[in-house]
Structure formats: structure tokens, C-alpha cells
A = this chain, B = another copy of it.
Amino acid sequence: MRGQRRGGRPMTTARRDAYTPETLLTVAVQIFNERGYDGTSMEHLSKAAGISKSSIYHHVAGKEELLRRAVSRALDSLFAILEENGARRGRAIERVEYVTRRTVEVLVAELPYVTLLLRVRGNTKTERWALERRREFDQRVADLLKAAAADGDLRADVDIRLATRLLFGMVNSLVEWYRPHPGGGYDADQVAETVVQLAFDGLRTGS
């Protein structure tokens, strides 16, 4: 939207300047999700963004920096949930329900970023760091579930570690099938509420 610039600087400069690290990140995340991080070259990013490789290097050191920024955005949003009041106060069962609901909301709000995070495989330093941080988040939720079990609020006949895996399996599956539908489909609130109902109260009547 900054095509008209004062001072009549050359178009190439104007185009490069129109790209902020933020808009470049949006394009990079889309291409990483389409082609896989390993399968994406700076050439692909340059073509998709419609700017030269040197213009990209003006903003970032390389594709690994773009990956780091993208997964950081997803991780920061997820870890921020754990600092919210709902995650810090009240019985553990209420806190874990709160975190589950908010995780779904963050996943929907930051869909491309969380999708990329969940597809990270661990071939580079940044990927290994992202995997480590994911495990840390999962562990924090598992700890909450354990505390809820210790309070007697979770069924004793269920293995909590296995239940944590399945809960995350259900929540994370959203990146595979959930698509925002303006004017139709499910909104984030409904999905978040259904996940919590299913996981904690089950689908059966009277349960």
C-alpha cells in the first residue's frame, strides 16, 4: 500500500521498503507449510514474496531466522497462556480446562504459525530448539493434569501421560482439518468448548 512514495525513489527500493519483516514472515510461513521447511530454498521465498533474494537478506540472515521468528510467534503465544490468571488460579482441573480452551483459541488465531511449529522435525538447531520448547509446554500441561488427578478430580483408571498425549493429539489435529470459514463453519469458541466437553466430560449422555 506504499506504492506512491515521496521523493521519487526507484521502484525497486520502494518495493523492498514495502516489505517489513512481518509481511515477509507471513509469506515465508505459508511457503514453509506448503513445501516443508527442508524443501524451501531462498529462491522459493524470493519468488513467493516477489522480491529479490538480496532484499530478503536486507531483513533476515537466512531462512533459519525466518523459521525461528515464525515458531517463536507460536511458542510465545502458547507459553503466554500459562501466565494468564485462568491458568494460575483455582483448582488444577479448572486450570487445565482453561489452558485446553485457550490452546485451541491460540491454535486457531495463529493457525499457520502453529501448523509450522507442529511440523518441525529437528534437522537444524532452530528445529531442535522448537521441539524442546514444545515438549516443555506439553510437560507443563501434563503437570497440571497430574495435579488435577492428585486432587481426585480426574479418573483414577486413566494413565495421565497417555491421556495427555491423546488430548494434545485431538487439539493438534486442528491444524490438519480446521479452516476458518467466514460466514460458516465452526468458530474458535465452539471448537474450544467442544474439545473441553469431549475431553473432560465425554460425549455420553449424563456424563
Residue numbers of A with Cβ under 8 A of B are 93, 145, 152-159, 162-163, 165-170, 172-174, 176-177, 186, 190-191, 194-195, 197-205, 207
CB distance from A193 to the nearest CB of B (A): 9
Which chain B residue shows the least CB distance to A202?
Answer: B202
Q: Is B191 in contact with A202, judged by CB distance below 8 angstroms?
A: no
CB distance from A177 to the nearest CB of B (A): 6
Which chain B residue shows the least CB distance to A194?
Answer: B162
Q: Is A93 in contact with B204, judged by CB distance below 8 angstroms?
A: yes
**Chain B residues, Cβ within 8 Å of A177:** 165, 169
**Chain B residues, Cβ within 8 Å of A154:** 203-205
| A162 partner, pick from B169, B190, B202, B207, beta carbons under 8 A | B190
Q: Is A200 in contact with B194, judged by CB distance below 8 angstroms?
A: no
Most buried by B among A195, A204, A207: A204
**Chain B residues, Cβ within 8 Å of A174:** 169
Given contacts A159-B186, A169-B172, 6 further A-B contacts (CB under 8 A): A153-B205, A155-B203, A158-B194, A162-B186, A166-B195, A207-B207
**Chain B residues, Cβ within 8 Å of A199:** 198, 202-203
| A194 partner, pick from B163, B190, B204, beta carbons under 8 A | B163
Q: How many copies does the complex hold?
A: 2
Main secondary structure of the interface of A (DSSP, over half): helix
CB distance from A38 to the nearest CB of B (A): 10
CB distance from A180 to the nearest CB of B (A): 14
Bound complex: CA A159 to CA B174 (Å): 16
Bound complex: CA A163 to CA B207 (Å): 15
Q: Is A203 in contact with B200, judged by CB distance below 8 angstroms?
A: yes
CB-defined A-B contacts under 8 Å, sample of 29: A93-B204, A153-B205, A154-B203, A154-B205, A155-B207, A159-B186, A159-B190, A159-B194, A162-B190, A162-B194, A163-B198, A165-B173, A166-B170, A166-B194, A166-B198, A167-B170, A167-B198, A169-B170, A169-B172, A169-B174, A169-B176, A169-B177, A170-B170, A172-B173, A173-B173, A197-B202, A198-B199, A200-B207, A207-B207
